[in-house]
Chains A and B, each alone.
Chain A
Amino acid sequence: QKEVEQDPGPLSVPEGAIVSLNCTYSNSAFQYFMWYRQYSRKGPELLMYTYSSGNKEDGRFTAQVDKSSKYISLFIRDSQPSDSATYLCAMSRAGTALIFGKGTTLSVSS
């Protein structure tokens, strides 16, 4: 089983939809959870960072971590065409480098 699994999509939604992006993982020692957004031909940019369990909200974005299920999610409310990008989850435990998911490609149509 891979350490981090992420559905590559593509995921296509109309403008204004609620988007749910997910990753599962196998290592229960992971403590740090991140979401990155990557536009075409650009480097990834950090979107959300969560330590351990719980929810974190930033504007239209909400990150959730469920450590009991080894599952993390990113929700995007009122999605916009400018949200069209590839979303990468990433996670690590203390003292180790980040492990990235392969990314989900999202397309929001106007």
Chain B
Amino acid sequence: DVKVTQSSRYLVKRTGEKVFLECVQDMDHENMFWYRQDPGLGLRLIYFSYDVKMKEKGDIPEGYSVSREKKERFSLILESASTNQTSMYLCASSPTRQGTEQYFGPGTRLTVT
């Protein structure tokens, strides 16, 4: 059974803190993605990775960075959290480079105060 897990379901952080969101998949997929989801704006791609140590910017990379040291793990980093980064963060993995058949984790609801 396909499995993508995210380190936290709910997280509350203060403005200026460095925040790490972890994602792990057990499907041996090469391709992993980070999105944020906001009401009225839908899913927006932050970063994606085609392979270990590879990363590509998505549509809204500003204020974020990523790390992919191992194939199964893809981390999203908020360098200095701000209130406008309060959102639902979703990680996904896919067997294809363009991300068809993406499998999503349960999401992390991040609140920055």
Q: Answer whether residue A67 sits at the interface, using C-beta atoms and an 8 A cutoff.
A: no
Residues of A contacting B101 with CB < 8 Å? Answer: 34, 46, 49
Contact indicator B41/A102 (Cβ below 8 Å): yes
Q: Does A32 reach chain B (CB closer than 8 Å)?
A: yes
Given contact pairs A42-B107, A46-B103, A102 touches B42 in the complex (Cβ within 8 A): yes
Stretch at the interface among A14-22, A53-61, A77-85, A86-94: A86-94
Question: B104 to chain A: which residues have CB within 8 Å?
Answer: 36, 43-45
A100 at the interface (CB under 8 A from B): yes
Asked if A46 meets B42 with Cβ closer than 8 Å, knowing A95-B97, A97-B58, the reply is no
Mark B27-67 against chain A: 1 for CB-CB distance below 8 A, else 0. Answer: 00000010000001111010010000000001000000000
Chain A residues with CB under 8 A of B109: 41
In Å, the complex CA distance between A80 and B99 comes to 30
Task: Check B42 against A43 for contact (C-beta < 8 Å).
Answer: no
Shortest Cβ distance from B59 into A: residue: A97
Residues 31-52 of chain A, each 1 if its beta carbon lies under 8 Å from chain B, else 0: 0101010000111111001000
Known contacts A32-B98, A97-B33, A97-B58; A43 and B106 CB within 8 A of each other: yes
Contacting residue for B98 out of A43, A44, A95, A101, CB 8 A: A95
Output the nearest chain B residue to A91 by Cβ-Cβ distance: B100
Q: How many A-B residue pairs have CB under 8 A?
A: 56
Q: Select A43's contact among B45, B58, B99, B107, beta carbons within 8 Å.
A: B107
CB <8 Å contact, B107 and A94 = no
CA distance A93 to B99 in the complex (A): 10
Interfacial residues, chain B to chain A (CB-CB below 8 A): 4, 33, 40-43, 45, 48, 58, 90, 92, 97-107, 109
The 10 closest A-B pairs by CB, nearest first: A43-B104, A102-B42, A100-B43, A98-B99, A32-B100, A92-B98, A44-B104, A43-B106, A43-B107, A97-B99
A sample of 12 cross-chain residue pairs with beta-carbon separation below 8 angstroms, ordered by A number, consists of: A32-B98, A32-B100, A34-B101, A43-B92, A43-B106, A44-B90, A44-B104, A49-B100, A93-B98, A97-B33, A98-B45, A103-B42
